[in-house]
Structure 1
Amino acid sequence: MVRILVVDDHAVVRSGLQLLLDGKMGMTVVGEAADGDEALARAAELLPDVVLMDLSMPHGKDGLTATAELKKLLPDAAVLVLTMHDDEGYLFRAIQAGASGYILKSAPHEELLSAIRHIAEGQAYLSPAATKRLMSDYLDKMRGGELVGTYESLSEREKEILAKVAQGYANREIAEQLFISVKTVETHKSNLMEKLNLRTRPDLVKFAMKKGLLNFE
């Protein structure tokens, strides 16, 4: 029997998933949670085989943070992200966080059941719709001569500098904020632009906007 924990901030969604999954293909919903904090507590208590994880939950920890912490807490539990986000950025981040699968809420019920069975057996599962979107975006970038590298290829320091350059900070200001030399900032900036195949500052700003890095708070 595959023991499932359902995590979603909408009670109607949780109830619907329980009705859909209970008793199907040897599956049972052992519990539910409305946010990432509750998901961690319930997972530690119930020891599920599979966690169905929503990404966007306004209260408590979000799905990506909860997934990463859950995998540290229960390495053998498989996380299947069930989300409305048809976006390669969320997909990459979910995989990095430790998710075994990614499926859209618009997917047919049969696909969801199949995805749960796959990851319960230790396999990975990627929604055909997500795969199509990912490949389409990649091919569009290739045809347009846009970036070939990915945000995930950057070091944490390069990501910091990317965000600050895009926000308009000068090299000296960045150096002061990060307590490093101006030369080091310049080196990181050169390296990250080479990795991302970016040539100009507007290109860098455009890339940062797509990744949601322009937080001026």
Structure 2
Amino acid sequence: MEVYLGNVTVRFMLSMGQNVTEPVKLKILVVDDHEVVLGGTIDLLQRQYPHAEILTAQTVESALEQVKRQTPDLVVLDLSLPEKKGGIAQADAGIQLLKKLMQDYPTLNLIVQSTHVKALVRIKPEIDKHNGGFTVADKSLSSQEMLTRVEWALNGITHTKDIRPGRTLEVKPDWLMVLKLAFHEGLQDRAIARRMQVSERTVRHYWTKIQDVLDVYPEEDKLDGKNIRIQTEIRAREEGLID
């Protein structure tokens, strides 16, 4: 049996009728590609958990390797990360890392420390199903508030209201793909349909659903002289659906 006691996990082992306590050092992996932020987070955690082993990673590739090799008790990660060393940091890379971690390690405790927390709305269903602790800490939070989120995550608590304070967006993966192909790659509907292997009619249906979720009203906006696709892009960025 294991019990978390602030700085260490104590494992109680039954041996020949006696309880033997074996202290197990807490392991925390911090993932961030900014040296200053990485150093600040490490310093904060070391002061709070002086006996913990703090591991670091600055890319998606390195983070996955560290988790596989070290099996940390908690992963603290930014969303804006490069895939590999020398790559460009993107929030979508962090989103895909989170999805991979939740899929492969369903009880892993996670805390997202980022200025892009709204982007988590893209994987809200996966977060809701995750069995480990999952908390969110915007980088604007105070040190004490950050440490509170760390403690919650270590104790298996889920706290995700910061992802979206208001209503919950229900967005399907196909809709996110349409937004990505249209506004990241600049594709028109015919090209989007070919990439997704669906009909143009299906793509137009996806646009209708996307605009409905984002409160973009084509008829009203047209009367106001607004470009519907531009309005959709603006709202999608505001809601964190695209970078």
TM-score scaled to structure 1, two decimals? 0.70
Report whether the alignment pairs 1:7 with 2:31.
yes
Aligned to 1:73: 104
Contact 2:79/2:114 (CA < 8 Å) preserved in 1? Answer: yes
Aligned to 1:120: 154
Aligned-CA RMSD value: 3.5
Aligned to 1:169: 188
Correspondences of 1:1-217 after superposition (within 5 Å): 1=8, 2-22=26-46, 24=48, 28-60=52-84, 62-85=93-116, 88=118, 90-93=119-122, 95-96=124-125, 98=127, 100-126=134-160, 130=162, 134-135=164-165, 138=166, 150=169, 153-161=170-178, 169=188, 175=193, 178-200=196-218, 202-212=227-237
Shift of 1:209: 3.3
Contact 1:158/1:188 (CA < 8 Å) preserved in 2? Answer: yes
Distance 1:208 1:82, change over 3 A: same
| Identity over aligned pairs, percent | 22
Structure with the bigger percentage of strand:
2
Quote the Cα distance in structure 2 between the aligned partners of 1:67 and 1:214.
Answer: 16
SS of corresponding position for 2:72: coil
Q: Structure 2: which amino acid aligns with 1:19?
A: D
Structure 2 gaps of 5+ residues are 1-7, 9-25, 128-132
Q: What number of residue pairs does the alignment pair up? A: 195
Aligned to 2:16: none
Quote the Cα distance in structure 1 between the aligned partners of 2:211 and 2:235.
Answer: 15
Shift of 1:55: 1.2
Q: Structure 2: which amino acid aligns with 1:205?
A: I
Structure 1 gaps of 5+ residues are 139-147
Shift of 1:37: 1.0
TM-score scaled to structure 2, two decimals? 0.63
Structure with the bigger percentage of helix:
1
* 14-23 or 109-118, larger mean C-alpha shift: 14-23
Q: Structure 1: which amino acid aligns with 2:154?
A: A
